[in-house]
Amino acid sequence: MLKGIAASAGIAIAKVYKLEQPVVTIEKKEGMNAAEECAKFDAALAKTLSDIETIKARAAGKLSEEELAVFDAHLMMASDPEFAAQIKAMIENESVNAEYAADVVANNTIAMFESMDNDYFRERAADVKDVTFRLKANLLGLLIPDLSLVDEDSVIVAHDLTPSDTAQLNEHAKGFATAIGGRTSHSAIMARSLEIPAVVGCAGVLEACNHGDTIILDAISGEVFVNPDETMIKEYEVKAEAYRQEREALKVLKNAKSVTTDGHEVELAGNIGTPKDVEGVVNNGGEGVGLYRTEFLYMNSQEFPTEEEQFEAYKEVLEGMNGKKVVVRTLDIGGDKKLPYFTFPEEMNPFLGYRAIRLCLDRKDIFRTQLRALARASVYGKLCIMFPMIATINEFREAKQVFMEEKAKLIAEGVEVADNIELGMMVEIPAAAVLADKFAEEADFFSIGTNDLVQYSMAADRMSEKVSYLYQPLNPSLLRLIKMTIDGAHKNGKWVGMCGEMAGDPTSVPVLLGLGLDEFSMSATSILQARKIVNSLNHKEMEELANKALECSTMQEVVELVESNLNK
Ligand code: PEP
Ligand code: MG
Which tens digit of pLDDT belongs to each residue from 509-553?
999 999 999 999 999 999 999 999 999 999 999 999 999 999 999
pLDDT at 68: 76
**Nearest-angstrom CA–CA distance, 459 and 478:** 12
Give me the catalytic one of 74, 186, 360, 539: 186
Q: Looking at ligand 1, which atom is closest to the CA of residue 500?
A: 3
Q: Looking at ligand 1, which atom is closest to the CA of residue 449?
A: 3
Rounded to an integer, the average pLDDT of 431-449 is 98
**Nearest-angstrom CA–CA distance, 287 and 512:** 18
Question: Which is more confidently placed, 21 or 356?
Answer: 356
pLDDT at 260: 98
Bridge-partner residues for 268, per DSSP? 520
**Nearest-angstrom CA–CA distance, 522 and 337:** 20
Q: Looking at ligand 1, which atom is closest to the CA of residue 451?
A: 3
Evaluate: CB of 293 within 6 angstroms of ligand 1: yes
Which tens digit of pLDDT belongs to each residue from 356-415?
999 999 999 999 999 999 999 999 999 999 999 999 999 999 999 999 999 999 999 999
Cβ–Cβ under 8 Å, residues 180 and 260:
no
Ligand 1 center from residue 309 Cα (angstroms): 24
Give me the catalytic one of 74, 360, 499, 539: 499
Evaluate: CB of 475 within 6 angstroms of ligand 1: no
Cα of first residue to Cα of last residue in the chain, in angstroms, is 35
Distances from the Cα of 564 to the Cα of 285, 477, 479, 549, 557, angstroms: 29, 21, 18, 12, 10
Nearest ligand to the CA atom of 450: 1
The environment of the single-atom ion ligand 2, i.e. residues with CB closer than 5 A, is 428, 449, 452
Ranked by mean pLDDT, the top range of 119-128, 241-250, 399-408 is 399-408
Rounded to 5 degrees, φ, ψ at 405 are -65, -45
Query: Other CB atoms closer than 10 Å to residue 130's CB: what's the count?
Result: 17
Ligand 2 center from residue 480 Cα (angstroms): 19
pLDDT-based confidence at residue 126 (cuts at 50, 70, 90): confident
**Nearest-angstrom CA–CA distance, 37 and 15:** 31
pLDDT at 182: 81
Q: Report which residue type is found at 413.
A: E
Structural domains in the chain, CATH included, are: 2-20+146-246 (3.50.30.10), 34-139 (1.10.274.10), 264-566 (3.20.20.60)
User: pTM score > 0.85 for this model?
Assistant: no
Query: Other CB atoms closer than 10 Å to residue 282's CB: what's the count?
Result: 17
Evaluate: CB of 455 within 6 angstroms of ligand 1: no
pLDDT-based confidence at residue 70 (cuts at 50, 70, 90): confident
Which tens digit of pLDDT belongs to each residue from 82-110?
999 999 999 999 999 999 999 999 999 99
**Nearest-angstrom CA–CA distance, 372 and 379:** 12
Evaluate: CB of 428 within 6 angstroms of ligand 1: yes
Q: Residue 382 is inside which H or E element, if any?
A: strand 382-387
Evaluate: CB of 184 within 6 angstroms of ligand 1: yes
Ligand 2 center from residue 449 Cα (angstroms): 5
pLDDT at 163: 67
* Listed range (131-135, 146-150, 161-165, 265-269) with the worst mean pLDDT: 161-165
DSSP assignment string, 72-110: HHHHHHHT-HHHHHHHHHHHHHH---HHHHHHHHHHHHH
Distances from the Cα of 308 to the Cα of 311, 357, 369, 372, 448, angstroms: 5, 22, 9, 10, 30
Cβ–Cβ under 8 Å, residues 477 and 460:
no
Q: Which of 486, 378, 475 is nearest to 423 (CA)?
A: 378
pLDDT-based confidence at residue 189 (cuts at 50, 70, 90): confident
Cβ–Cβ under 8 Å, residues 451 and 468:
no
Evaluate: CB of 370 within 6 angstroms of ligand 1: no
Q: Look at ligand 1, atom 9, and give the residue with the nearest C-alpha.
A: 293
Ligand 2 center from residue 451 Cα (angstroms): 6
pLDDT at 568: 61
Sheet holding 214-218, edge to edge: 2-3, 223-226, 214-218, 11-19, 154-158, 173-178, 198-200, 5-8
Nearest ligand to the CA atom of 500: 1
Catalytic, 186? Answer yes
pLDDT at 466: 87
Task: Mark out the alpha helices in 169-229 (DSSP H runs).
Answer: 186-194, 205-208
Calculate helix-pair angle for 98-114, 81-94, nearest 10 degrees: 130
3 state DSSP class of 224: strand
**Nearest-angstrom CA–CA distance, 350 and 463:** 12
**Nearest-angstrom CA–CA distance, 205 and 220:** 17
pLDDT at 203: 92
Evaluate: CB of 452 within 6 angstroms of ligand 1: yes
Ligand 1 center from residue 354 Cα (angstroms): 16
SS3 for 385-427 is EEECCCCCHHHHHHHHHHHHHHHHHHHHCCCCCCCCCEEEEEE
Ligand 2 center from residue 72 Cα (angstroms): 40
Evaluate: CB of 187 within 6 angstroms of ligand 1: no
Across the chain, mean pLDDT equals 93
Evaluate: CB of 497 within 6 angstroms of ligand 1: no
Catalytic, 202? Answer no
Ligand 1 center from residue 461 Cα (angstroms): 13
Sign of CA dihedral 306, 304, 273, 53: positive
Evaluate: CB of 193 within 6 angstroms of ligand 1: no
Ranked by mean pLDDT, the top range of 145-159, 272-286, 427-441 is 427-441
The upper half-sphere exposure of residue 566, i.e. CA atoms within 13 Å in the direction of its Cβ, equals 19
Query: Other CB atoms closer than 10 Å to residue 134's CB: what's the count?
Result: 23
